[in-house]
Chain A
Amino acid sequence: MIPTAWYLLLAAILFSIGAGGVMLRRNTLVILMCVELMMNAVNLTFVAFSHELGSMTGQVFVFMIMTVAAVEAAVGLAILVELYRQTQSVNIDDFDSLKG
């Protein structure tokens, strides 16, 4: 029986890796991947608490987050493809047309 805190610490580590990646990387595709990793870390927390507290609510939440993640990936990548058509770049520093 593994303590729930270990799962929570693992999820915190994964979330930090994702957050660090979002700040560190300039390639928009990799940033989207890092966002997915952060969502996964949150899902792991939900499932760990669901197991700890003996309730199914956490797993239902994870189900909803997966739906949102799928939609987010599809819309995000469509926006990225459209941006690439206009700027011929995936570097996030090149997307500054809202800067004015």
Chain B
Amino acid sequence: MEAILFFIFGGLAVVGGLAMVFNKNAVHSALFLLLSMTMIAGLYVLLSAQFIAVAQIMVYAGAIVVLILFVVMLLGAELGEIIPQWLTVRNGVMVLLALIFLTVSGTAVYDWLYSTQPVAGTVTDELIAQQGSAELVGQSLFTQYLLPFELASILLLVGIVGVVMLGGWRFVQHRERGK
């Protein structure tokens, strides 16, 4: 059962990723990205990381994909490249590079699989079922990783200020000066 779900989620995630790359229309690309992200959230549930799965759906599906779709609509940039440009030597080399990268990382995984013994940690599936995924992440986040958590809030603030500066603060100033 678990294996069937893994192949459904994983297969759809890969199909979504491929469709995203090879789609001419940017809106369709964004929707295929959404499919891929949702399927990855399903994989997180299989790995008993329910909290991360919900956060994945909220942050990626709820925020990032919507943001991308808004920008696609604003710019009217839904049309991608012209199709005859696709089959070039350059693109062939790029696909080849991606395949080489896949081979290298796949070999690394294979080596790891047959050379190491897994270390047994303290957090088992039973503990997660007992205490809850969000509680365990929260415990870790607010004790051991409190400083990175606070730094993330500063990062978000910097991001907000940067986006406001980039996206039209000048025009607001113009308008005020014009009055």
Q: What sequence of 0s and 1s flags, for each residue 41-82 of chain A, a beta carbon within 8 Å of any chain B beta carbon?
A: 001100110111111110110111011111101110111111
Q: Is the CB of A90 within 8 A of B33?
A: no
Q: Is the CB of A37 within 8 A of B17?
A: yes
Q: What sequence of 0s and 1s flags, for each residue 111-127 of chain B, a beta carbon within 8 Å of any chain A beta carbon?
A: 01100001111111000
Interface size class of A (residues with CB under 8 A): 35 or more
The main secondary structure of chain A at its interface with chain B is helix
Q: What sequence of 0s and 1s flags, for each residue 81-93 of chain B, a beta carbon within 8 Å of any chain A beta carbon?
A: 1000100000100
What is the CA–CA distance of A52 and B64 in the complex, to the nearest angstrom? 29
Residues of chain B touching chain A, judged by Cβ–Cβ distance below 8 Å, are: 2-3, 6, 10, 13-14, 17-18, 20-21, 26, 29-30, 33, 36-37, 40, 43-44, 46-49, 51-52, 55-56, 59-60, 63-64, 67-68, 71-72, 74-75, 77, 80-81, 85, 91, 94-95, 97-99, 101-102, 105-106, 109-110, 112-113, 118-124, 133, 136-137, 139-141, 144-145, 148, 152, 155-156, 158-160, 162-163, 166-167
Known: A50-B49, A62-B49, A78-B166. 6 other contacts (CB 8 A): A10-B43, A27-B77, A59-B49, A62-B52, A67-B156, A75-B163
- Residue pairs across A and B with Cβ atoms less than 8 A apart, 25 shown, are A3-B113, A6-B6, A7-B47, A10-B14, A12-B102, A17-B20, A26-B81, A29-B26, A29-B68, A29-B75, A30-B26, A44-B40, A47-B43, A51-B49, A56-B139, A59-B51, A59-B52, A63-B137, A73-B68, A74-B160, A75-B166, A77-B71, A80-B75, A81-B167, A82-B166
